[in-house]
Amino acid sequence: MDPDAVAKGIESGELQVIDVRDDREWEAGRLPGSRHLLLAELPASAGSIDSETPVVFVCRGGSRSAMAAEAFRQSGYEAYNLSGGLVAWAESGLPLEPEDGQVVERSLT
């Protein structure tokens, strides 16, 4: 899903957003109203994600969230990936939380 479609879905309450980035990335900046679940925690947390509401997974550039979206689609969820990730969201001029939020490099540790 492109950033504008995700923004409209968030605004209308028709989408739930799960951010799969690491803690440092999450703290630096995130989509308004998103929920943080580390990618490694998704399998154990799947039951806490509403299977009746479309879900969009988010990461920095779209790779990690694409894997999550595919796995959830295979499990019967209406699951999407934010195309281009948080980078594309920010480049589209869409807001981040907190107010001074920013997109940071992924930590590889």
pLDDT tens sequence across 52-91 = 999 999 999 999 999 999 999 999 999 999 999 999 999 9
Calculate the alpha carbon distances from 44 to 30, 38, 41, 49 in Å: 22, 10, 6, 11
Range 3-91 classified under CATH 3.50.50.60: no
* pLDDT at residue 91, rounded to an integer: 96
- List the domain boundaries for the chain: 3-91
| Cα–Cα distance measured from residue 20 to residue 42, given in angstroms and rounded to the nearest whole number | 8
Q: What is the pLDDT of residue 30?
A: 97
Could you tell me which residues come within 8 angstroms of residue 9 by beta carbon, excluding any fewer than 6 positions away?
Answer: 1, 15, 54, 56
Residue range 28-56, pLDDT digits in tens: 999 999 999 999 999 999 999 999 999 99
Across the strands, what pairs with 79? 55
